[in-house]
Amino acid sequence: MAKKVKKKDLGLGIRALIQNDEQVAEIKTEPVEEITAGIAMVQIKDIHANPNQPRREFDDEPLQELASSIKIHGIIQPLTLRKEDNDSYQIISGERRFRASQLAGLTQVPAYIRVANDQEVMEMALIENIQREDLNPLEVAFTYARLMKEFDLTHEKLAERVGKKRSTVSNFMRLLELPPTVQHALKQQEISTGHAKALQGLRTIDDQLYILNKVINNGLSVRDTESLVRQKITGSSAASGNTKSKASTLPSEYQDIRKNLKSHLGTIVDIKLKGKEKGAIVINFSSVDELNRILDIIED
């Protein structure tokens, strides 16, 4: 397992993924001015963002605050860039600093210039953001999934590459199995990863959404949520006979349709049959925002 990198050693930890100094890119092109060993001043116009950047959201207010700080103090931590064939540079890490520098009106920024393949770029960007705690849990999970898929990595191999325990990687990956509504709540910090993990113990989407609403509306702690989940499981087990009898009234093919709709829409869906060929689909929502989210999914 990779050695855990302390936050103060962040830059060194990221660059350690590049195996030796021979991989440092040439920085003698006209637009670049070398200011110290390994660091250069690069024209902002020659820099572009990485489309595979793990971080997807940049809040405007903190970005403006960083831009104001940069105007006064400059950039404290250089960006890390990958030089491309056409003398342009792709961001490996530091897109937030890059955006703030644009807002601050800078024309050039300090940067480490590195040679890296696509996998190394994704790993370095992920590691920096995780260590700086800049990513929400779903952004981490999506990046793990992408690394595993695109570079054929197992949970264990990925854990070695990013310096995490295998169980940590697996727990993040399980977040992607949650219904969209629960994922949205996690993304918006309405619930924590601990809450989400507790909800994963429930068997049905209906139960997960029921407990989720209680957590949000009542501000329940993780411990309270775990207790509520246990009570729900116990109650469900006691009433399993009635539940099975009720479910059996709906033909299996309609049960599959209902299950798929619940998963896709991330909300409670009922199918009510009226005779052999007629019926109704009932889509439940708990707020106008949730209704709009469901409508967006349907329209897409």
Nearest to 211 by CA among 188, 202, 197, 282: 202
Q: Give CA separation, 219 vs 73, 214, 263, 280, in Å.
A: 40, 8, 25, 35
Nearest to 125 by CA among 10, 9, 14: 14
**If DSSP states are collapsed to H, E and C, what string results for the chain?**
CCCCCCHHHHHHHHHCCCCCHHHECCCCCCCCEEEECCEEEEEHHHEECCCCCCCCCCCHHHHHHHHHHHHHHCCCCCEEEEECCCCCEEEEECHHHHHHHHHCCCCEEEEEEECCCHHHHHHHHHHHHHHCCCCCHHHHHHHHHHHHHHCCCCHHHHHHHHCCCHHHHHHHHHHHHCCHHHHHHHHCCCCCHHHHHHHCCCCCHHHHHHHHHHHHHHCCCHHHHHHHHHHHHHHHHHCHHHHHHHHCCCCHHHHHHHHHHHHHHCCCEEEEECCCCCEEEEECCCCHHHHHHHHHHHHC
Among the options 61, 65, 84, 95, which is catalytic? 95
171-194 residues labelled b (16+ CB within 10 A) or e (exposed): bbbebeebbbbbbbbbbeeebbbe
Asked whether the beta carbons of 80 and 114 are under 8 A apart, the reply is yes
Respond yes or no: is residue 95 known to be catalytic.
yes
Residues annotated catalytic, as ranges: 95
